[in-house]
């Protein structure tokens, strides 16, 4: 008899939790009947400010397969995923969102992909972004193209956190204990054979998304900084190019003045050059600052999350 641990990060999900639980429970019953596989739920309450924790306590009393970990404050989805992995007991571990944008019915196909086709992981990707604002979809596609060109790892366009993994792969992920986490990159970095399932985008079943455009933008920057040093090389190359341009321009102005007596363009051109060079310098300093700030946070050795209460024993 196998065991699948389903990790569900939760932040203000009181409206969607009952619906999510009912839908996934139907799938879990089917998995038990057909393949003799049990399912445990590991909900991670990421400092919710609504009745999410109360809902989890109620589900825990009604169903012994429901367990939860509750943080002392909001640490972010990446920390919630890591906490769920650390506290999972299953031979196979799945990650799902509580809003039902991840189709529960795919769990059976994911399980068969591992046990029958010998994959280490069966992951999902959206082939459409229906329902998303066009500007958000555009920048998302740009991010995937950019990071795949700059990084040595491949992150599939439209990849979701929704996936089923073997215990061996989960243990490998847990070995990556960095504070600044970007799970999509970590999943690719640890390797292992992965099968991809495609599905069309689904709307949230209830509640509102917690990911604003600004949060997604900052999250994408974290991913770029975490898995490529190309921006640092870009800053160096940009500085070198402008040094060459400066030398060439100096030669041009000197020659023009000596031969034709042309005066050097005055105040307006000088201001434009100063603003351009100053902007590029600040941009390059910002790149260096991003990497320096990540290094600073890593050296602090702060815990990835802090637990306030939990129902799971045996994993700390």
Any idea which residue has 């057909």 for tokens? Answer: 34
304: three-class secondary structure by DSSP:
coil
Whether residue 81 contacts residue 7, with contact meaning beta carbons closer than 8 Å, is answered with yes
User: How open is the CA angle 27-32-34, to the nearest 5 degrees?
Assistant: 90
Percent of the chain residues topping a pLDDT of 70: 81
pLDDT tens profile 30-42:
888 888 889 899 9
Please state whether the predicted TM-score (pTM) of the whole model is above 0.85. no
Confidence of residue 223 (pLDDT cuts 50, 70, 90): low
Query: Which of the residue ranges 79-88, 130-139, 277-286, 290-299 would you say has the lowest mean pLDDT?
Result: 130-139
The more confident residue out of 157 and 82 is 82
32: three-class secondary structure by DSSP:
helix
DSSP β-ladder status, 66-71 and 92-95: unpaired
pLDDT tens profile 23-69:
888 888 888 888 888 989 999 998 888 888 888 988 888 888 889 99
Task: For residues 112-118, give the mean pLDDT.
Answer: 89
Q: Kindly tell me if the per-residue pLDDT of 164 is higher than 90.
A: yes
Q: What pLDDT score was predicted for residue 122?
A: 92
Any idea which residue has 């341009």 for tokens? Answer: 245
Q: What pLDDT score was predicted for residue 316?
A: 45
Q: Tell whether the torsion through CA atoms of 281, 282, 287 and 290 is positive or negative.
A: positive
DSSP β-ladder status, 2-10 and 92-95: parallel
Task: For residues 181-205, give the mean pLDDT.
Answer: 81
Whether residue 306 contacts residue 75, with contact meaning beta carbons closer than 8 Å, is answered with yes
Q: Tell whether the torsion through CA atoms of 119, 121, 122 and 125 is positive or negative.
A: negative
Whether residue 89 contacts residue 191, with contact meaning beta carbons closer than 8 Å, is answered with no
In this structure, what DSSP letter does residue 264 have? P
Q: What pLDDT score was predicted for residue 309?
A: 86
Query: Which of the residue ranges 183-192, 213-222, 236-245, 282-291 would you say has the lowest mean pLDDT?
Result: 213-222
Whether residue 29 contacts residue 108, with contact meaning beta carbons closer than 8 Å, is answered with no
Q: What pLDDT score was predicted for residue 217?
A: 67
Q: What integer best gives the mean pLDDT of the chain?
A: 80
pLDDT tens profile 90-102:
899 999 888 888 8
On the CB side of 207, CA atoms within 13 Å amount to: 22
pLDDT tens profile 290-301:
778 778 777 888
Query: Which of the residue ranges 85-89, 118-122, 269-273 would you say has the lowest mean pLDDT?
Result: 269-273
Domain boundaries, the chain: 2-215+303-310, 230-300
> CA–CA separation, 186 vs 155, rounded Å?
10
CATH 3.30.565.10 matches 2-215+303-310: no
Q: What pLDDT score was predicted for residue 190?
A: 87
Q: In what order do the strands lie in the sheet with 66-71?
A: 194-199, 121-126, 159-166, 92-95, 2-10, 37-45, 66-71, 307-310
């Amino acid at each position: 008899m196998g065991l699948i641990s389903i990790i569900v990060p939760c932040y203000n999900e009181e409206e969607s939790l009952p619906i999510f639980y009912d839908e996934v429970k139907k799938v879990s019953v089917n998995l038990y009947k057909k393949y003799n596989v049990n399912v445990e739920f590991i909900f991670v309450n990421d400092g919710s400010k609504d009745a999410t924790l109360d809902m989890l306590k109620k589900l825990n009393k009604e169903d012994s397969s429901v367990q939860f970990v509750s943080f002392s404050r909001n640490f972010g989805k990446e920390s919630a995923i890591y906490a769920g992995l650390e506290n999972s007991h299953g031979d196979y571990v799945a990650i799902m969102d509580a809003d039902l944008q991840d189709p529960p019915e795919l769990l059976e196909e994911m399980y068969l992909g591992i046990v029958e086709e010998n994959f280490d992981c069966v992951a999902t990707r959206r082939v459409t972004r229906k329902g998303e604002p066009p500007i958000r979809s555009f920048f998302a596609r740009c991010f995937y193209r950019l990071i795949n060109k700059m990084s040595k790892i491949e992150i599939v366009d439209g990849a979701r956190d929704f996936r089923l993994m073997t215990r061996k792969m989960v243990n490998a992920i847990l070995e990556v204990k960095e504070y600044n986490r970007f799970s999509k990159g970590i999943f690719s970095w640890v390797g292992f054979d992965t099968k991809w399932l495609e599905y069309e985008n689904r709307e949230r079943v209830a509640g509102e998304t917690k990911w604003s455009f600004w949060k997604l933008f900052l999250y994408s920057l974290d991913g770029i900084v975490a898995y490529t040093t190309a921006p640092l090389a870009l800053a160096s190359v940009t500085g070198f190019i402008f040094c060459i341009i400066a030398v060439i321009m100096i030669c041009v102005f000197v020659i023009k003045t000596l031969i034709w007596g042309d005066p050097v363009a005055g105040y307006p051109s000088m201001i434009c050059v100063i603003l351009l060079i100053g902007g590029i310098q600040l941009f390059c300093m910002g790149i260096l600052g991003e990497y320096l700030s990540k290094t600073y946070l890593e050296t602090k050795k702060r815990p990835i999350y802090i637990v306030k209460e939990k129902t799971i024993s045996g994993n700390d």
